[in-house]
Amino acid sequence: MPRSYRVAILGATGAVGTELLSLLDQRRFPVAHLKLLASPRSVGQQLIFQGEALTVEALDEQAFENIDLVLASAGGSISKAWAPKAVEAGAVVIDNSSAFRMDVQVPLVVPEVNPKDVIPHQGIIANPNCTTILMTVAIHPLHQVQPIQRIVAATYQSASGAGARAMEEVKAQALAILQGQEPKTEIFPYPLAFNLFPHNTKLNGLGYCEEEMKMVNETRKIFGLPDLRVTATCVRVPVLRAHSEAINLEFAQPFSATLARDLLSKAPGVKLVEDWQANYFPMPIDASGKDDVLVGRIRQDISNPNGLELWLSGDQIRKGAALNAVQIAELLDTQDLIHPTQRTTVAAR
């Protein structure tokens, strides 16, 4: 008899939460019952799932009773406080925050890259940072053929990375500027419309921000290479949705751009986008709403005979967050790593 699960979405009304809701339906994940959880200001709102209006509920001590799977996208402090409670109640948690990513006991998983890492989970599986997901999906097929020695990444990150309110802020700023008014800032420290600035997370003593160190540390963990040389510069750009990245890879020997192009044209989760005559390569506007990471402009690094460069765009909300989480859930399902009790026979929500 096919398994089905009682699922909770934590942070259901946010940009990633609503995308999770949509993807569970689109990908026909076996949901027997769905519970929507969010902050007090969202309690009572209604969201549609498979034609049925579901009411958003409060997060409390009873929230995870009879729940098999929690998809969490409510921020690190919420996850730290509530994910262990969900596990204690018998659920598996797939967490989209940074709370558990570097915990040695918690798998950090990109299904196209390290699917086997879900197997030893102890109740919590971490979803990597959006920029890390997009990059590792694109470069892992190359790494499998010839190990990568060094990664230099520059990111061009959209407002969506800071959530739905940040996207609305950029729209309002653009309108204000076009009307000759002073743009107002609330989510970001500076106006993002018609502007850009280095990523606004906290800097460490070496001058790297938290977002950059996420790419460094998470890539090492996902690849299982704690000494992999990685550096990153992360930048906020005035794009509503979908991030882009310029990636420079160094190998021990030359890596043919032709071979890289062939490998990426066949890689899962990747779509090759290249029209050299038209100078047409991946763009955020084309990646928005798409599952695949768009990759192109693959070329030799003229400064390094062992270097290879590529450009990518990917939907931060979708593959960079919600889709990756649902794909992890699908992995858990196919490998029988969610263990619902007899309550899975319940059919109604």
Q: Could you list the active site residues?
A: 130, 243
d(C-alpha 273, C-alpha 139), whole Å? 15
d(C-alpha 7, C-alpha 26), whole Å? 15
d(C-alpha 108, C-alpha 100), whole Å? 8
Token pair for 36: 């929507």
Q: How many CA atoms lie within 13 A of 116 on its CB side?
A: 2
Residue with tokens 């026979």: 345
Q: Give the list of residues 6+ apart from residue 199 with CB closer than 8 angstroms, or none.
A: 155, 157, 209, 211, 212, 234, 235, 236
Neighbours of 65 (CB within 10 A): 11
Core vs surface per residue 235-247: b (16+ CB within 10 A) or e: ebbebbbbbbbeb
Token pair for 188: 């970001």
Token pair for 113: 């890259």
Q: Give the list of residues 6+ apart from residue 275 with CB closer than 8 angstroms, or none.
A: 281
Q: Which SS3 state, helix, strand or coil, does residue 48 take?
A: strand
**Interior angle at CA 154, CA 185 and CA 106, nearest 5:** 90
Could you tell me if 134 and 243 are in contact, meaning their C-beta atoms sit under 8 angstroms apart? yes
Token pair for 297: 């402009």
**Interior angle at CA 103, CA 97 and CA 108, nearest 5:** 60
